[in-house]
Amino acid sequence: MYKLDHLGIAVTSLKSAMQIYEKLGLSVSEPEEVPAEKVRLVMIPVGQTRLELLEPTSDDSAIAKFIGKRGEGLHHVCLRVPDLTAAVQKLKSDGVRLISEEIKVGAGGHRYVFVHPSSAGGVLLELVESGH
């Protein structure tokens, strides 16, 4: 079953960005670093989904470049899929452009891939596999 997994939000400071959610009484996870993506992140559960706050750890990270170009804000939408390998194969066979041809492992050990915004109505779309 496909579900909304999280919304990724690019921020310059996790500490500053977390404050509004803490003031609302939401729980914020401990920060986690994903060296391959050069980001530090926290997850904030909201109902059946989560907000993912992403802070760059390097000036050459994708998040730093995004903030430099567009400022802080919504970076990506993430869908949970039942079989990521099958979804990626189908998208590739249908000519969908992916950011990376390989499935990667990120925060929490989740397997993921990004669909290029040019193939998703201008939205950076992340797909993660359920059950991990």
CA dihedral 65, 70, 73, 77 (to 10 degrees): -70
Specify whether the backbone of 47 is left (phi greater than 0), alpha (psi in -120 to 50) or beta.
Answer: left
Per the listing, tokens 């400022």 go with 71
One-letter amino acid for residue 18 of the chain:
M
The pTM of the full predicted model, rounded to 2 decimals, is 0.91
Amino acid 107: pLDDT: 79
Amino acid 35: pLDDT: 92
Q: Give the pLDDT mean for 30-58.
A: 96
Residue 131's pLDDT band, with cuts at 50, 70 and 90, is low
